[in-house]
């Protein structure tokens, strides 16, 4: 029996000149390799396991990580050197083990070794190489280890994710076998049996008979008794295994999913990286292997805590295309791109690359906004009413809803488009009304309107905006709704509605849960008032009084004096007499009120608790949603507003019957952090996460998302299916 080992070789630069590069990026080598290689060989290198979802996700996950560059930093000198297990290398980009490289090029591992040496970086030789450890400077395992040590290799990369070979369907279809002119050089002279072509792929049968399925953590400890070389454990994807690896004496960890060639539907390595890094607590270095094709990818991995990265497929594809020269070019291109990324991010050395340089999800914008905004403004946006129980519950309730994904469904094409009140939008994610956005950023609602338009979705403008309906309309085309309170002076209401209609707004979102302003204690303590350089633009020229700072918050006194506490369902009907715009009733939390809304002529319902800023201890909106949906019986659409921070949240809301969701705080926090770019990124991140959730749940269109895709705490146990 054998254990899969790979050997790391410290390399040092030569003084050979680079040839002029005609290829502009690493990924272009794959197309060239595909043309040059026999189909069986190309498929062996390029393919992943089963549906190859993880293969694609290894790349796609990088695209969902965005930069937060720093500016006005002297980056005239960039130092990319680092140390790996005590060996200094020129950059944190190393060569991963890839098997049988002479299938790609006659010089195979020889060429790769020379290219890595010229680049001043580390090459990891696969034990399944077509050149032996001696040629490149390995019971069977002990012989391999001792040979590697004698040949000057500096570390062992122990592959731990291959007790059996993953189901690589391209290899099965091609009946993959090693070409007859090649051998696994490290095993010459050892009795390991022959490749059997009778079933699966020849390689599958070979490995199945030789790799030890009893491999366990005690083997990591045993390896340390037969070699002084440090051992990197390659194939870790969880924090639990990272902690065990340290206890077992591993010198380092390589986060890897075997190039997506083993278990499909495991996370992308970049998605698993941070969990592993946190689990190690800095006790051993953590490296990343999988999906890296750009210098920006290298930077993102280091920002998430990696000490360096390994590349595999780019090496064999460039080797197939141009031999040693191709591998040299790949390493140089990644080096150049990484150096540029460092410079544009304001980092002069690897130690200056921090977690703060990237954003991986929507919630991270809140911490940035908290740093940038005055306390009074941040508290106004972030806080809830009284004990803020509902504020927390708006998020916590989503976490108690679990998925029931469907499998083996072709999800190569995902359609997220939908129609809201007759208007087609790109996704069921829309912008909720949030007040006074120029407190967050000088462009305020202008920026949000442009970002929503660019995303092909709906923006809802608050009547308490610091930009008027006319000003927002002037930003260009877009589908926009107008949020409205009903005031004592109905003439004011009528003027606001007519102005919105003339400005091209398409619907009214009538807020009905604010006969009085909730007790927002942060605003009271801060004595919140609108900054003196800003005004509520929709009310300029109207006699609505002035904000009074004498008690509660200035805003509370203002609203208390103007909003009509006699607001009732008859006002919903009255509004329909003064406008042709459809009316969404915003603030419904019960089935009873949903039925009345339908009777009153509402065009739709927004399940909302006002961002948990009104009555504390009401349910989370996601908890109230299904009751409201059932009460409407499909007669009008129901939307959700409150607590959405993930694409998974969007999916859960739709599975419970929502026709779409609105986001509020993520918009103002990203606006505060990065202006229009921040809002664009938030919408794109949620879109990407939602698309991913649909794919992993087996849903190709919104209509395929059903109640059966989730389970909630209030569900009755499902009966076991009969076999």
| Residue 47 half-sphere exposure toward CB, CA atoms < 13 A | 19
Round to whole Å and give the CA distance between 247 and 241: 10
Strands 66-67 and 358-359, how do they pair?
Answer: antiparallel
Length, in residues, of the chain = 723
Report how far residue 139's alpha carbon sits from residue 141's, in angstroms, rounded to the nearest whole number: 6
610 flagged as catalytic: yes
Rounded Cα gap, residues 84 and 106, in angstroms:
30
Could you list the beta-strand ranges (E) of 77-230: 82-84, 87-89, 93-95, 123-126, 155-159
Best CA proximity match to 86, nearest among 261, 292, 307, 349 = 307
**β-pairing verdict for 583-588 and 402-403:** unpaired
> Under a CB-based contact definition with an 8 Å cutoff, are residues 305 and 286 in contact?
yes
H helices present in 51-131, as ranges:
53-63, 108-119
Nearest alpha carbon to residue 66 among 341, 415, 395, 307: 341
C-alpha–C-alpha distance, residues 450 and 471, integer Å: 12
Q: Which two tokens stand for residue 506?
A: 């398409």
Q: Which of 105, 441, 610, 709 is catalytic?
A: 610
Cβ neighbours of residue 529 closer than 8 Å, sequence gap 6 or more:
547, 549, 553, 554, 555
3-state DSSP percent of the chain in helix, strand and coil, to 5 = 45, 15, 40
Contact 120/13 with Cβ under 8 angstroms? yes
Q: What does the block give as tokens for 530?
A: 């609108």
147 φ/ψ angles, rounded to the nearest 5 degrees: -65, -40
Phi and psi dihedrals of 400, rounded to 5?
A: -90, 0
Strands 87-89 and 82-84: antiparallel
CB 159, CB 106: distance < 8 Å: no
Distance of CA 7 to the CA centre of its chain: 33
**Residues with catalytic roles:** 610
């Amino acid at each position: 029996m054998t254990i899969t080992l790979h050997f790391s070789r410290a390399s040092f630069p030569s003084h050979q000149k680079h040839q002029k590069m005609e290829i502009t990026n690493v990924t272009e080598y794959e197309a060239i390799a595909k043309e040059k290689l026999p189909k069986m060989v190309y498929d062996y290198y390029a393919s992943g396991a089963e549906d190859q979802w993880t293969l694609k996700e290894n790349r796609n996950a990088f695209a969902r990580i965005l930069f937060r560059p720093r500016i006005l930093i002297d980056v005239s000198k960039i130092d990319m050197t680092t140390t790996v297990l005590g060996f200094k290398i020129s950059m944190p980009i190393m060569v991963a083990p890839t098997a049988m490289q002479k299938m790609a090029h006659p010089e195979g591992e020889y060429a790769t070794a020379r290219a890595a040496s010229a680049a001043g970086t580390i090459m990891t030789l696969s034990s399944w190489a077509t050149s032996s450890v001696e040629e490149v400077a390995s019971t069977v395992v002990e012989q391999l280890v001792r040979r590697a040590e004698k040949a000057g290799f500096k570390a062992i990369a122990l592959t731990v994710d291959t007790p059996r070979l993953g189901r690589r369907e391209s290899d099965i279809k091609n009946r993959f076998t090693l070409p007859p002119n090649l051998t696994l050089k490290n095993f010459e002279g050892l009795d390991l049996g022959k490749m059997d072509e009778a079933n699966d792929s020849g390689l599958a049968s070979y490995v199945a008979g030789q790799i030890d399925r009893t491999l366990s953590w005690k083997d990591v400890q045993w390896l340390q008794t037969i070699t002084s070389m440090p051992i990197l454990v390659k194939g870790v994807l969880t924090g639990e295994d990272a902690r065990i690896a340290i206890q077992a004496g591993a010198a380092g960890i390589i986060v890897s999913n075997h190039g997506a060639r083993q278990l499909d539907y495991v996370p992308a390595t970049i998605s698993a990286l941070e969990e592993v890094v946190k689990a190690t607590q800095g006790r051993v270095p953590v490296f990343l292997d999988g999906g890296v094709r750009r210098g920006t990818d290298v930077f993102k991995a280091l920002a998430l805590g990696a000490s360096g990265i390994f590349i595999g497929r780019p090496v064999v594809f460039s080797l197939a295309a141009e031999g040693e020269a191709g591998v040299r070019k790949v390493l140089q291109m990644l080096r150049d791109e990484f150096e540029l990324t460092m410079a544009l991010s304001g980092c002069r050395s690897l130690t200056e690359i921090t977690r703060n340089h990237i954003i991986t999800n929507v919630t991270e914008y809140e911490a940035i906004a908290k740093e940038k905004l005055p306390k009074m403004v941040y508290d106004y946006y972030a806080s809830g009413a009284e004990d803020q129980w509902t504020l927390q519950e708006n998020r916590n309730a989503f976490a108690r809803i679990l998925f029931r994904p469907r499998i083996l469904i072709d999800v190569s094409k995902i359609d997220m488009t939908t129609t809201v009140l007759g208007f087609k939008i790109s996704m069921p994610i829309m912008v909720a009304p949030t007040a006074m956005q120029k407190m967050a950023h000088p462009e305020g609602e202008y920026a949000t309107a442009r970002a929503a338009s660019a995303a092909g979705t709906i923006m809802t403008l608050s009547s308490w905006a610091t930009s008027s309906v006319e000003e927002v309309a002037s930003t260009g085309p877009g589908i926009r709704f107008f949020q409205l309170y009903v005031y004592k002076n109905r003439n004011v209401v009528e003027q606001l509605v007519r102005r919105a209609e003339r400005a091209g707004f398409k619907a009214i979102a009538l807020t009905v849960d604010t006969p009085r302003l909730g007790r927002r204690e942060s605003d009271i303590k801060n004595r919140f008032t609108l900054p003196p350089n800003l005004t509520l633009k929709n009310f300029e020229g109207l006699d609505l009084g002035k904000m009074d700072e004498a008690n509660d918050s200035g805003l509370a006194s203002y609203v208390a004096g103007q909003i009509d506490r006699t607001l009732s369902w008859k006002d919903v009907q009255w509004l329909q007499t003064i406008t042709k715009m459809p009316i969404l009733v915003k603030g419904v939390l019960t089935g009873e009120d949903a039925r009345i809304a339908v009777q009153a002529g509402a065009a739709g319902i927004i399940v909302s608790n006002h961002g948990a800023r009104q009555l504390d201890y009401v349910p989370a909106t996601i908890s109230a949603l299904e009751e409201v949906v059932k009460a409407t019986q499909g007669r009008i659409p129901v939307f959700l507003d409150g607590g959405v921070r993930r694409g998974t949240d969007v999916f859960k809301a739709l599975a419970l019957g929502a026709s779409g969701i609105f986001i509020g705080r993520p918009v103002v926090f990203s606006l505060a952090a990065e202006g229009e770019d921040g809002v664009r990124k938030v919408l794109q991140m949620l879109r990407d996460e939602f698309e991913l959730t649909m794919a992993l749940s087996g849903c190709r269109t919104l209509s395929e998302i059903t109640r059966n895709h989730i389970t909630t705490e209030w569900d009755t146990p499902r009966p076991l299916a009969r076999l």
